[in-house]
Amino acid sequence: MKQFSIYCFIFFFFIASNTRAIEKRYVFNKLSNENGLTYNTVKDIAQEESGIIWFATKQGLNKYDSYNIESYYKEDNVGIPSNFFTCLLITKDNHLFAGTNKGLIKYNRRFNNFEPLLFKGSPIRKINSLTESNSGTILIGTNRGIFCYYPNEEMIVKFVSLKDKHITSIAEYNLDEFIVTSNSGLYFINSDGVLLEYYDKNNTRDLPTHHFMKAYIDSKKDCWLGTYNDGLYKFNRKEKTFQKELLAEIDQAETKVVRDIEEDLDGNLWVCSELGIFILNLETNESVNIQHSLEKSEYHLNDNATYCLFHSHEDIMWIGTYFGGVNYTNLNNSKGFYNIYPGDNENELHGKAVNKLYKDSKGILWIATEDGGVCMENPLKLTTLLRFRECKLNSVYKFKTFNIATYDRQEERIT
Q: Is the pLDDT of residue 139 over 60?
A: yes
> What is the side-by-side strand order in the sheet with 85-90?
85-90, 96-100, 103-108, 113-119, 122-123
Type of residue numbered 325? G
- Which comes out higher in pLDDT, residue 336 or 176? 176
Helix/strand/coil percentages in the chain, nearest 5:
0, 45, 50
262 secondary structure, DSSP code: E
CB neighbourhood size of 143 (10 A): 16
- Percentage of the chain exceeding pLDDT 70: 82
pLDDT 10s digits, 63-91: 999 999 999 999 999 999 999 999 999 99
The 10 Å Cβ neighbour count of residue 182 is 25
- Band (pLDDT 50/70/90 cuts) for residue 9 is very low
3-state secondary structure 60-71: EEEEECCCCEEE
What's residue 258's pLDDT?
98
On average, the pLDDT of the chain sits at 86
Residue 10 has pLDDT above 70, yes or no: no
* Count of CB atoms situated within 10 Å of the CB of 3: 12
Residue 372: what pLDDT? 74
pLDDT tens, residue by residue, 221-274: 999 999 999 999 999 999 999 999 999 888 899 999 999 999 999 999 999 999
Report whether pLDDT(335) > 80: no
pTM of the model: 0.77
Residue 101: how many CB atoms within 10 A of its CB?
Answer: 18
Give the C-alpha separation, 308 to 386, whole Å: 44
Burial of 326 from C-beta contacts in 10 A (0-12 / 13-18 / 19+): buried
pLDDT exceeds cutoff 50 at 18: no
The pLDDT, as a whole number, for residue 5 is 38
- Judged on CB neighbours under 10 Å (0-12, 13-18, 19+), 110 is exposed
CA distance 63 to 79: 17
pLDDT of residue 281: 94
Q: What 3 state SS string does 4-43 have?
A: EEECCCCCCCCCCCCCCCEEEECCCEEECHHHCCCCCCEE
- The letter for the amino acid at 22 is I
Classify burial at 249, counting beta carbons within 10 Å of its beta carbon; exposed 0-12, middle 13-18, buried 19 or more. Answer: exposed
Q: Among 130, 165, 170, 122, which residue's Cα sits nearest to residue 145?
A: 165
Least confident of 95-99, 254-258, 291-295: 291-295
**So what's the pLDDT on residue 73?**
98
The answer to whether residues 232 and 244 touch, using CB atoms and an 8 Å cutoff, is yes
The alpha carbon of residue 149 and the mean position of all alpha carbons in its chain are separated, in whole angstroms, by 28
Asked if residue 6 has pLDDT above 70, the reply is no
Cα 266-269-273 angle, rounded to 5 deg: 150
Alpha carbon 6 to chain centroid, angstroms: 36
pLDDT of the residue at 408: 54
Confidence of residue 375 (pLDDT cuts 50, 70, 90): confident
User: What pLDDT shows up at residue 205?
Assistant: 81
Which residue would you say has higher pLDDT here, 349 or 128? 128
Least confident of 75-84, 248-257, 281-290, 332-341: 332-341
Q: How confident is the model at residue 289 (pLDDT cuts 50, 70, 90)?
A: very high
**Which domains does the chain show, CATH number per domain?**
1-21+340-415 (no CATH), 26-337 (2.130.10.10)
